[in-house]
């Protein structure tokens, strides 16, 4: 157990240490209250964030608010994948897979190579399994072809060779392993960097700001139009309002709640599916991920992620309060049982679990199993002119942002179309802040000549490089100037205290959960002890 002695022994808190900070909450509230925005985005999940980013890049005056933290719900509770969607080939959705691959490659190679990476996948084919080797071999070949063979050629692999890359692979009754390529990310970090990109482009952003009502403007001869929102700062209790020409409802699982603020009689537009995951300590080094078919439609993943192992996911209809979604004992049992199809039992011991989380997929309303439902984006316009967007995939977050922008430009009764001419000329692969080759950043952080922080551990250098890109040098420089901030937050994690200061001053972190769950990996590692949470809170209080 971590005690205070693991922290700097004489640490009373670096009261004078700050980055050049962004505007504080009071200033942001004032900015929101005193401006009539072209677009108010309600909802700081990745769909709202992406739309705000593209809108700000187009020159629009944009505001983005969320009742919790940015990416605080489903957008940081995904399977951490950027992928083409191998299972979509079963339905003949060839064009969709090709489009997903395009987006995946763009993000991994040009937009955020510092936040995502290619990952080899093994699809084990067992005796009496739902798919045969010939079918899977042809499937992964076609899948790689749709990616222009950018991740190699999909093929079948001998089980013995596969076991060398994944020591915990179960080989009993294993006939063959199909190999293909996709990509992986830290979803919370990707979302936060996109928020930063939106803010750098001029968007005014505020988290922990809850919508308590909508504003309406009556036009002669027409029904009232949504023209803004009433908000309450959940941290201070301050109430304020925002005026906007167009309001976008991007609240994910809460989308119908906000639609009913616009129109009390609005029919449901979505249904929800719960996806639970487990994070475990790894018992060996994995060089590839496992994607194991459970039945004709479902696949369970075992993914090496953040030096841990990520297992999941479940897929069941959810009808409760979105704010109360959580992992239960049945989820844990199901995930471990399904992982046991291809993972040896030694790796699946419950004492290895460090964290469990669940998110909600937003699916189009309708009958049938949620596992078979299309992961498509639903865009609707309400009686008051509010545009609502929900659903979709993390992989296509940039495409969804562009799609919403096109919808906004075409909306009758508004003049945003003329203002959005710059959107048509935006590069298709705008990079996110910190873009750099993470290997080069790691090398510089560790080199004697160019390193701003001497004696930096290799794991910390890698962590900084792959979570911040070139911004890692700012964090390392601060730690070099203030040695107490170069100390690790926990001896078993790569993070250092300078990251907490950076999260506070530059990444809108307001609570210990903001820092420990989404801006660092302490929570998913099971290392967010009461002592550490107290120290983090003390730093946050010094803003």
In contact, 416 and 408? CB cutoff 8 Å: yes
CA distance 516 to 533: 8
CA distance 112 to 41: 23
List Cα–Cα distances, 517 to 328, 360, 390, 528, in angstroms: 19, 18, 24, 9
CA distance 210 to 232: 5
List Cα–Cα distances, 467 to 374, 481, 520, in angstroms: 31, 21, 9
Q: Tell me which DSSP letter residue 429 carries.
A: T
3-state secondary structure 72-124: CCHHHCCCCEECCCHHHHHHCCHHHHHHHHHHHHHHHHHHCCCCEEEEEEEEE
Domains of the chain listed by start with CATH number? 25-74+189-269+373-418 (3.50.50.60), 99-184+271-364 (3.30.9.10), 438-541 (no CATH)
**Paired residues of 205 in beta bridges:** 64
Residue 464 in 3-state DSSP? helix
CA distance 400 to 298: 25
CA distance 147 to 78: 23
Tokens representing residue 266 in the block: 């609005």
CA distance 504 to 239: 23
CA distance 188 to 77: 8
The confidence score (pLDDT) of residue 7 equals 41
In contact, 303 and 310? CB cutoff 8 Å: yes
Residue 21 sits at φ, ψ, to 5 deg, of: -80, 160
pLDDT (tens place) for every residue of the chain, 543 residues total? 333 333 444 444 444 466 656 788 999 999 999 999 999 999 999 999 999 999 999 889 999 999 999 999 999 999 999 999 998 888 888 988 999 999 999 999 999 999 999 999 999 999 999 999 999 999 999 999 999 998 999 999 999 999 999 999 999 999 999 999 999 999 999 999 999 999 999 999 999 999 999 999 986 556 799 999 999 999 999 999 999 999 999 999 999 999 999 999 999 999 999 999 999 999 999 999 999 999 888 899 999 999 999 999 999 999 999 999 999 999 999 999 999 999 999 999 999 999 999 999 999 875 455 555 555 677 889 999 999 998 888 999 999 998 888 888 877 766 676 566 656 666 667 899 999 999 999 999 998 666 678 789 999 999 999 999 999 999 999 999 999 999 999 999 999 999 999 999 999 999 999 999 999 999 999 999 999 999 999 999 998
CA distance 501 to 503: 5
In contact, 259 and 266? CB cutoff 8 Å: yes
Which residue in 185, 112, 121, 176 sits closest to 147, CA to CA? Answer: 121
Which residue in 47, 76, 42 sits closest to 390, CA to CA? Answer: 47
Per the rule left: phi > 0, alpha: psi between -120 and 50, beta: everything else, 106 is alpha
DSSP sequence for 353-408 = EEEEEEEEEEEES-SS-GGGS---EEEEE-TTS-EEEEE--GGGHHHHHHHHHHHH
Q: With b meaning 16 or more CB within 10 Å and e meaning fewer, what string describes 406-425?
A: ebbbeeeebebeebbeebee
* Residue 47 Cα to chain centre, angstroms: 10
Which residue in 152, 130, 131, 132 sits closest to 141, CA to CA? Answer: 152
CA distance 441 to 472: 8
Which residues have C-beta within 8 Å of that of residue 25, sequence separation ≥ 6?
206, 233, 235, 236, 510
């Amino acid at each position: 157990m971590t005690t205070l002695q693991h922290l700097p022994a004489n640490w009373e808190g670096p009261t004078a240490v700050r980055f050049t900070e962004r505007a504080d909450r009071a200033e942001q509230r004032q900015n929101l209250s005193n401006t009539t925005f072209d677009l108010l985005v309600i909802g700081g999940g990745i769909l709202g964030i992406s739309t705000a980013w593209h809108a700000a890049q187009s020159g629009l005056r944009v505001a983005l608010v969320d009742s919790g933290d940015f990416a605080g719900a489903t957008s940081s509770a995904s399977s951490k994948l950027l992928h083409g969607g191998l299972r979509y080939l079963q339905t003949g959705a060839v064009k969709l897979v090709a489009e997903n691959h395009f987006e995946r490659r763009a993000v991994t190679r040009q937009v955020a190579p510092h936040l995502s990476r290619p990952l080899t996948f093994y699809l084990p084919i067992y005796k009496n399994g739902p798919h045969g080797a010939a079918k899977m071999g042809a499937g992964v070949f076609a899948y790689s072809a749709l990616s222009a063979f950018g991740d190699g050629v999909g093929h079948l692999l001998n089980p013995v060779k596969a076991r060398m890359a994944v020591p915990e692979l179960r080989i009993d009754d294993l006939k063959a392993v199909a190999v293909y390529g996709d990509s992986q990310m830290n979803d919370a970090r990707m979302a936060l960097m996109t928020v930063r990109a939106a803010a750098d482009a001029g968007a005014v952003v505020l988290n922990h700001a809850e919508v308590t009502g909508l504003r309406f403007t009556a036009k002669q001869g027409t029904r009232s139009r949504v023209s803004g929102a009433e908000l309450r700062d959940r941290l201070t209790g301050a109430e304020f309002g925002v005026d906007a020409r167009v309001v976008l409802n991007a609240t994910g699982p809460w989308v119908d709640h906000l639609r009913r603020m616009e129109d009390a009689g609005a029919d449901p537009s979505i249904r929800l599916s719960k996806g639970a995951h487990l994070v475990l300590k790894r018992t060996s080094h994995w060089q590839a991920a496992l994607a194991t078919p459970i039945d004709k439609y479902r696949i369970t993943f075992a993914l090496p992620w953040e030096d841990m192992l990520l297992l999941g996911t479940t897929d069941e209809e959810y009808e409760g309060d979105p704010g109360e979604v959580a992992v239960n004992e049945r989820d844990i049992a199901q995930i471990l049982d399904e992982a046991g199809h291809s993972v040896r039992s030694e790796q699946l011991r419950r004492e290895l679990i460090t964290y469990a989380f669940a998110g909600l997929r937003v699916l189009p309303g309708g009958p049938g199993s949620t596992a078979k439902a299309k992961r498509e984006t639903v865009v609707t316009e309400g009686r008051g002119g509010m545009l609502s967007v929900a659903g979709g995939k993390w992989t296509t977050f940039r495409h969804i942002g562009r799609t919403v922008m096109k919808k906004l430009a075409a909306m009758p009764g508004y003049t945003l179309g003329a203002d959005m001419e710059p959107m048509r000329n935006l590069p298709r692969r705008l990079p996110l802040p910190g873009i750099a080759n993470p290997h080069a950043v790691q090398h510089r952080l560790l080199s004697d000549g160019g390193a701003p922080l001497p004696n930096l551990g290799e794991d910390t250098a890698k962590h900084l490089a792959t979570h911040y890109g070139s911004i890692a040098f700012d964090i390392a420089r601060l730690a070099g100037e203030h040695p107490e901030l170069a100390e690790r937050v926990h001896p078993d994690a790569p993070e250092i205290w300078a990251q907490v200061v950076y999260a506070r001053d530059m990444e809108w972190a307001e609570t210990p959960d903001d820092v420990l769950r989404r801006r660092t990996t302490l929570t998913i590692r099971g290392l967010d002890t009461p002592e550490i949470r107290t120290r983090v809170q003390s730093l946050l209080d010094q803003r």
